[in-house]
Amino acid sequence: MEVNKQFSAKAKHDFKLIQAAVEENDEKAYAELMSIYKKPVYHVVLKMVRNADDAEDLTIEAFAKAFKNLHKFNPEYAFSTWLFRIATNNCIDFIRKNRIKTMSIDSAIKIDNGDEITIDFKDKNLNPQEEAIKNQKIEIMQYVVAKLPEKYQRLVTLRYFNELSYEEIATELNAPLGTVKAQLHRARELLYDMVKNKKHLI
């Protein structure tokens, strides 16, 4: 992997991790990439959707998609820029679908390397490429969710695929709201761990 000399030392370190992850299937490299970018990605996502639970969900999806497509990464760009674009595209899809009130579409988000990402809303209807991305996202999540312990699969299915609110899940399962939130939090932690391991995404 040829690296542009103009990149920062941090970006060059990312490239080494990517190379180890792709060429050697080095799980520690995946884990380190997630460790470096989990919080920054979450904060960018949270600025867009303004809901902590949704931000957690969308952060998982961003890493799942990025790691599954890491072999397609173009080293002409910083990894952080590529990852944040995946995350913001997921958010745009989510915002369109849910029509939630968010920041001005003319706003730009600054990411950790100083670049800015502008949110651009086009037609509310998904074009064929966007529909394909949405379907791929669902497919990725199905792969990962199938690896969860059975008690968490039900919760995650209700949250991700049936798109129920936490209150609706509590009613559906006849369980306390606090229990539902705690168990979904644990399920998210397990999903993060699985995303680190590429074997779960193949």
> pLDDT category, 198, cuts 50, 70, 90?
low
120, pLDDT greater than 50: no
Secondary structure of 49-86 in the HEC alphabet?
HCCHHHHHHHHHHHHHHHHHCHHHCCCCCCHHHHHHHH
Share of the chain above pLDDT 90, in %: 12
Here the tokens at position 90 are 């997921």
Based on the number of CB atoms within 10 Å of its own CB, is 47 exposed (0-12), middle (13-18) or buried (19 or more)? middle
Backbone angles phi, psi at 116, to 5 degrees: -120, 140
Cα–Cα distance for residue pair 165/81, rounded to 1 Å: 31
> pLDDT category, 116, cuts 50, 70, 90?
low
Buried b (16+ CB within 10 A) or exposed e, 164-185: bebeebbeeeeeeeeebeebbe
CA nearest to 201, candidates 58, 69, 24, 79:
69
140, pLDDT greater than 80: no
Pairing of strands 116-118, 108-110: antiparallel
Does the global pTM surpass 0.85?
A: no
Neighbours of 24 (CB within 10 A): 10
94, pLDDT greater than 70: yes
Here the tokens at position 149 are 């312990």
Structural domains of the chain ordered from first start? 9-201 (1.10.1740.10)
Segment 57-85 shows an average pLDDT of 89
Segment 14-34 shows an average pLDDT of 90
197, pLDDT greater than 80: no
137, pLDDT greater than 60: yes
Cα–Cα distance for residue pair 184/166, rounded to 1 Å: 9
